[in-house]
Amino acid sequence: MAKERRSLNGKVVAITGGARGIGKATATALVRKGCRVAIGDLDLELAEKTADGLGGGTIALGLDVTHRPSFESFLAETERQLGPVDAVINNAGIMPVTPFVDEGEGSIRRQVDINLHGVITGTQLAIARMRPRGTGYIVNIASQAGKAGIPGIATYSATKHAVVGLSEAVRAELRGSGIEVLCVMPTVVNTELTSGVGQKWIKPVEAADVANEIVDAMEVPRFDVFVPSSNGVLYRVMGLLPRAWREALGRAMGVDKLMFEVDHGARRAYEERAAASKPSADEAPPGEPAQRDAA
């Protein structure tokens, strides 16, 4: 029997890294469903432009996900302006592309701080607000790089594996609480984060495709949200194969080349912004758009 769809109309949703890419697309889809959306982003000016373009009472607020007081303020101001938060979408993230042996300590720390610690903070703060009411959604944007190690983005893969594990553990802890945990795992997405990536090996999806799957999984709650959904079947089948077979299949699909056949010129602007991000609000340059879409 098909599950009944839940209405999202009137729900208050807070989205991190929501000024562009997956975050913006998700905000757009949720506004169309009648949600009241707060966009949090390090680039407040861009977030304000995005919010103005979306309409529907969407608000924009400054946010550094690596700084807990900033995250707390973001959610508190969202609730002051829009009402109790029904959903927190932990979307902010960065993805430098480089062989692991050449990656600098700063890049590693930034990814852990933004991609993982930011999600941990957002998840904790969401639980604190939702558990007393016995309802809510925590949507963590991971990646299919969180289900398999991708050469060329080893640290990014590590952070996304951690987000998957975190989400699974928190889901188990919250069982019966009324809070739904969703773990979103897209393939390569056509956003700035993947600019210059050799997409001839993997068919990319659009940010709107990810947004639509998020909305669908909120209306009919499910934990594993693969984009495209068919890849969920692929990962389950591959999980049954011996490691040598899985690795050979990955090579046949070009996964080992995906992040090495990269146009670094096309990625330069993004990489420079990602490198400018800092692990705390005290160190972050005002308005620096470093926190990006997770994909």
- Give the active site residues: 156
Angle formed by the axes of helices 68-82 and 118-130, nearest 10°: 40
Query: What is the C-alpha separation between 66 and 120, in angstroms, rounded?
Result: 10
Query: What is the C-alpha separation between 202 and 133, in angstroms, rounded?
Result: 42
Helices and strands, number each (H, E), in the chain: 10, 9
Strand-pairing partners, residue 36, are: 12
Query: What is the C-alpha separation between 193 and 95, in angstroms, rounded?
Result: 6
Query: What is the C-alpha separation between 42 and 240, in angstroms, rounded?
Result: 42
Strand-pairing partners, residue 186, are: 227
Helix (H) / strand (E) element for 214: namely helix 207-219
Task: Tokens for 161, please give them.
Answer: 């594996």
